[in-house]
């Protein structure tokens, strides 16, 4: 089987999906905007370097010219900005996979909510906005607090909570570069993800992760050490309600083969409310958490599902898995880490990954990446024990920069 895979080198986890494709026997034709390193080239049968992945018409023309005389079986993309152009290429080549209309329902947040609401599922009240006048009109109907964000954004980029008219006046100028946005009801409650691997829209593997705190708070406050904690026991009633919501959303939007990443809320009253969903894997190490939960390789299993429509990994859930992202205090280079030795002395057997920046390394821009200044991954079969470890990492480990 011969597959065109868009952007195999970025974001960094895409190289693992490229590896997965090669490991299930696929001939991988990569298309990207930079040169792959020798390690990545091992998994590529051919590679087309393009000036930009975001000039859609130019990208499509270059791919057509490059493939002239060669047959292909699939066009795939796992990076949010490219799922639509992958769908357009599939339709032009007459290949199987999700249609442009189906993918649009996963990319356009207002259309997404309209389709989910039409299926009788609870979504935040929302309005599409193109102008400042539209924003004020939407706020008048929705009320405060509200969220303003791009209609096709990802990862909380350009996403703002507004609690007053003063907030709206402050936020709107910061969004002038956004052509189209959505203004929606702010849902108060605990935030979770619902992640799947699906064949013909039916989940063959499901996972739920809890955000601590909610995603927007993670992205808005530098002092926070964000935590994502996968839930081992999916049979809990409040988790099952979220899973049932997620299954309904996938049916409403016409999911096909591949991975999905959905965010949902559980309100203080116990109501589950849809947030948004993407027809691609979650970022910020979500796939790693799923792998550590069951000791499997979903990079390879996604490839098997996307090309051969089979899933061979176990679905047994062994661990609750937490990832703790750390942000250094100060600017410049990391000069000291406090509390890490003590944390290792207490939890060494349960630490499965440590990418914390060490002294001498320059700080990263915490606004540009949730990975921040590195992270720890811990796991434990017991929920309370896993929660305690993540809490101790949040409060007991500190990075300092100068």
Confidence band of 103 (pLDDT split at 50, 70, 90): very high
pLDDT digits (tens, 9 = 90+) for 365-386: 998 888 899 999 999 999 999 9
Taking the domain 100-119+188-318, which CATH number applies?
A: 3.30.470.20
- The whole-number average pLDDT for the span 331-359 is 98
pLDDT exceeds 80 at position 63:
yes
With a cut of 90, say whether residue 156 has pLDDT above it. Answer: no
21 phi/psi in degrees, rounded to 5: -60, -45
Q: Is the pLDDT of residue 303 over 90?
A: yes
Tokens at 385, concatenated: 């024990």
- Residue 155: the pLDDT is 59
Tell the CATH topology of 125-185.
Dna Ligase; domain 1 (3.30.1490)
pLDDT at res. 119:
98
pLDDT given for residue 291 in this prediction: 98
d(CA 358, CA 276): 36
Out of 52-66, 130-144, 233-247, least confident range = 130-144
Give pLDDT tens digits for 115-129.
Answer: 999 999 999 999 999
Q: What does the pLDDT read at residue 154?
A: 66
pLDDT higher than threshold 70 for residue 261? yes
Whole-model pTM?
0.93
Higher pLDDT, 367 or 358: 358
- Check residue 162 and give its pLDDT: 93
Q: End-to-end CA distance of the chain: give it in Å, rounded.
A: 52
At 127-151, the pLDDT tens digits run: 999 888 899 999 999 999 999 998 8
Q: What is the mean pLDDT of residues 351-363?
A: 97
Helix runs in 119-198, H state only = 132-142, 165-171
Q: Which fold has domain 2-97?
A: Rossmann fold (3.40.50)
Pairing between strand 27-32 and 2-6? parallel
Residue 158, pLDDT score: 80
Return the closest-CA partner of residue 115 out of 271, 9, 250.
250
User: Is 100-119+188-318 the same fold as 2-97?
Assistant: no
**pLDDT tens for each residue of 313-343:** 999 999 999 999 999 999 999 999 999 999 9
pLDDT of residue 53: 97
- 168, 173, 178, 179 alpha-carbon torsion, rounded to 10°: 90
Q: Where are the domains of the chain?
A: 2-97, 100-119+188-318, 125-185, 321-402
Q: What mean pLDDT, rounded, does the chain reach?
A: 95
For 116, residues 6+ apart whose C-beta sits below 8 A from its C-beta are: 123, 248, 249, 252, 253, 274
Which run of H or E residues covers position 75? strand 74-76
Q: What is the mean pLDDT of residues 67-92?
A: 96
What is residue 153's predicted lDDT score, i.e. its pLDDT?
67
User: Which stretches within 119-258 are classed as H helix?
Assistant: 132-142, 165-171, 215-220, 237-253
What is the sign, positive or negative, of the torsion defined by CA atoms of 351, 357, 363, 364?
negative
pLDDT in tens, 47-57: 999 999 999 99
Taking every pair of Cα atoms in the chain, the longest distance, rounded to a whole number of angstroms, is 61
């Amino acid at each position: 089987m011969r597959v065109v895979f868009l952007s195999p080198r970025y974001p960094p986890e895409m190289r693992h999906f490229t590896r997965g494709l090669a490991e299930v026997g696929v001939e991988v034709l990569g298309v990207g905007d930079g040169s792959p390193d020798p390690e990545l080239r091992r998994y590529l049968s051919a590679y087309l370097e393009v000036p930009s992945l975001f000039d859609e018409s130019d990208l499509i023309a270059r791919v057509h010219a490059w493939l002239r005389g060669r047959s292909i079986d699939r066009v795939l993309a796992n990076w949010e900005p490219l799922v639509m152009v992958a769908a357009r290429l599939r339709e032009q080549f007459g290949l199987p996979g999700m249609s442009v209309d189906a993918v649009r329902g996963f990319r356009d947040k207002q259309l997404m909510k309209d389709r989910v609401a039409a299926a009788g599922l609870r979504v935040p009240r929302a309005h599409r906005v193109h102008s400042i006048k539209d924003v004020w009109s939407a706020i008048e109907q929705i009320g405060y607090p509200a969220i303003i964000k791009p209609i096709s954004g990802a990862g909380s980029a350009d996403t703002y909570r507004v609690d007053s008219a003063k907030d709206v006046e402050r936020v709107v100028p910061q969004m002038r570069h956004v052509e189209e946005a959505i203004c929606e009801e702010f849902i108060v409650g605990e935030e979770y993800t619902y992640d799947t691997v699906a064949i013909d829209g039916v989940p063959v593997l499901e996972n739920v992760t809890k955000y601590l705190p909610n995603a927007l708070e993670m992205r808005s406050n530098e002092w926070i050490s964000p935590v994502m904690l996968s839930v081992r026991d999916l049979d809990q009633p409040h988790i099952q309600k979220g899973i049932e919501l997620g299954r309904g959303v996938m049916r409403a939007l016409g999911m096909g083969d591949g991975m999905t990443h959905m965010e949902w809320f559980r309100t203080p009253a116990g109501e589950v409310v849809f947030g948004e969903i993407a027809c691609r894997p979650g970022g910020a190490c979500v796939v790693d958490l799923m792998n550590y939960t069951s000791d499997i390789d979903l990079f390879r299993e996604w490839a098997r599902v996307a090309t051969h429509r089979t899933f061979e990994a176990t679905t047994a859930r062994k661990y609750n898995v937490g990832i703790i992202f750390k942000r250094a205090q100060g600017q410049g280079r990391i000069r000291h880490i406090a509390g890490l030795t003590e944390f290792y002395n207490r939890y060494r057997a349960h630490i499965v990954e440590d990418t914390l920046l060490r002294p001498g390394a320059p700080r990263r821009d915490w606004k540009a990446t949730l990975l921040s200044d590195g992270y720890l991954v811990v796991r434990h079969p017991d929920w309370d024990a896993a929660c305690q470890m993540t809490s101790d990492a949040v409060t007991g480990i500190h990075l300092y920069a100068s």
